[in-house]
Structure 1
Amino acid sequence: MKKLAAEFIGTFWLVLGGCGSAMLAAGIPELGIGYMGVAFAFGLTVLTMAFAIGHISGCHLNPAVSVGLLIGGRFPAKDLLPYIVSQVLGGIAGAGVLYLICSGQDGFAIDPKSAGAFASNGYGDFSPHGYNLTSAFITEVVMTFMFLIIILGATDERAPAGLAPIAIGLGLTLIHLISIPVTNTSVNPARSLSQALFVGGQPLAQVWMFWVAPVIGAILAGVTYKWLGSGK
């Protein structure tokens, strides 16, 4: 239960910190943090939680990460579903708190026809810069693949001790710097679902892709690193 609670809290923080920075701080004229600030916000949520709860639950905060670690031989199958449920619920809770905060501003409303509404992910008309399904799918598969390679490598027993949170946090920052214009960056099904539930409409209809593509990328990374890291 403590592991599941840690995953809930960690995913709550990831959504509140990452999506919250996009909603509250990114677009302020002259003072806004922009894409770079949002990218660092997501990276910082993972970095801080890795130090805070990594020793409790492993700090997955992401169903795709749990799947990739399972395939890579680093995570027991019996814990997969409970972890995913905790991550999804933590993400929804984070989105709920963000909604309550945003609702305190006069005129706030979520437009389900607007790309990136409530920091949601999307493709086609719902991509921040109009990238189609193929581009979005490739982006999410490749970015999740690289994220899992970073995680599996940085947490390898042969890697420098104590530095994994920094590598993983900066890795997620770089992933966002590359892919925010394409999909608003998911690489995390729980993060995508949490926002889409509040938006509805097409962002919710498109959320399937932000489960399928990251999981495929994670599986490929798990298989690849299991081979790559096998020689000791």
Structure 2
Amino acid sequence: MPVIYGENMTSNNVGKGIAEFVGTFFLTLTIFVAAVSGFAGGFAPIAIGLTLMVMIYALGHVSGAHFNPAVTIGLFIKGDCDKDELPFYIVPQIIAGVLAFFVGSELVLQGLGVPGVTEREFDSMNAVLFAEALWTFALMFVIINVATEQSGNQFYGAAIGLTVMAGAFTVGSISEGSFNPAVTTMLLVSGKMAIADCWAHFIPQIVGAIAAVYVHKMMIGENE
């Protein structure tokens, strides 16, 4: 079993970028088709979690399978991602999120005759902030503990996918359950989220990921 983060990953930054693009594309495409369009109904979180899981297992040995700019930034803060690698992760992730909307809209809105996307009006921006921060924290915390500190195990993909699934079930009705700036970008492009509301996703996602890194450091100690 390849190590998700570490020496067994490819040293080719272009290869990492391709892997991040492919994984993020299928994740955000699934979110658009299953959740944003409403095509999967209440089963959307299951489809999203399973897609993330299989893409992690498929591409973890290439790039580490971040598929999320907040995760990439968190791992950079932790020291598991070099600054020279950042553009090869974050840029493909964002582009993949945008492209997933265009592919998904052609597939779902045209091909299946689903009504157009309507903009979400959030009831409480404070609730959105807390929901995105808490579950991005949870996602990052799980990634650190199952994919970096216990690298080489057989369950890391399932643990990460199930975390996103649980978060989507728990707070999806509150904040859309993004936990990922690439997903938030897709929501913006699709018209599901207003530009004026995007700060309540981007900021807590980055803060939540970074907070998880420092909580982990406090938990295990700097030298362990």
Scaled to the shorter chain, the TM-score interval is 0.7 to 0.9
**Cα deviations across residues 35-83 of structure 1 (Å, max 9, x unaligned)?**
xx11111211210111110000111011111011112222112212331
| CA distance in structure 1 between the partners assigned to 2:20 and 2:94 by the alignment | 9
Give the counterpart of 1:204 among 183, 186, 195.
195
> Which residue is 1:224 aligned to?
215
Q: Helix, strand or coil: the match of 1:161?
A: coil
Return the TM-score normalized by structure 1: 0.83
Which residue in 2 is equivalent to 1:119?
A: none
Output the aligned Cα RMSD. Answer: 1.9
5+ residue gaps, structure 1: 28-33, 116-125
Number of aligned residue pairs: give it. 208
Which runs of at least 4 in structure 1 moved beyond 4 Å after TM superposition? none
Distance in 1 between residues matched to 2:90 and 2:66, nearest whole Å: 9
Q: Distance in 2 between matches of 1:6 and 1:188?
A: 17
Corresponding residue to 1:10 among 23, 26, 30: 23
Give the match for residue 118 of structure 1: none
What is the CA-CA distance between 1:217 and the residue it aligns to? 0.3
CA separation of 1:140/1:86 partners in 2, compared to 1, >3 Å: closer, same or farther? same
Conserved? CA contact 2:30–2:48, under 8 Å: yes
1:26 is the counterpart of 2:32: no
C-alpha distance in structure 2 between counterparts of 1:159 and 1:76, whole Å? 18
The AA in structure 2 aligned to 1:172 is: V
For residues 54-203 of structure 1, the aligned pairs below 5 Å read 54-101=60-107, 102-106=109-113, 108-112=115-119, 115=120, 126-127=121-122, 130=123, 132-158=124-150, 161-199=153-191, 203=194
Task: Give the 3 Å change call, closer, same or farther, for CA 152–107 of structure 1 in structure 2.
Answer: closer
Whether the aligned pair in 1 keeps the contact of 2:39 and 2:114 (CA below 8 Å) is no
Distance in 2 (alpha carbons) for counterparts of 1:168 and 1:148: 9
What residue identity is the alignment partner of 2:180?
Answer: N
Q: Percent identity?
A: 29
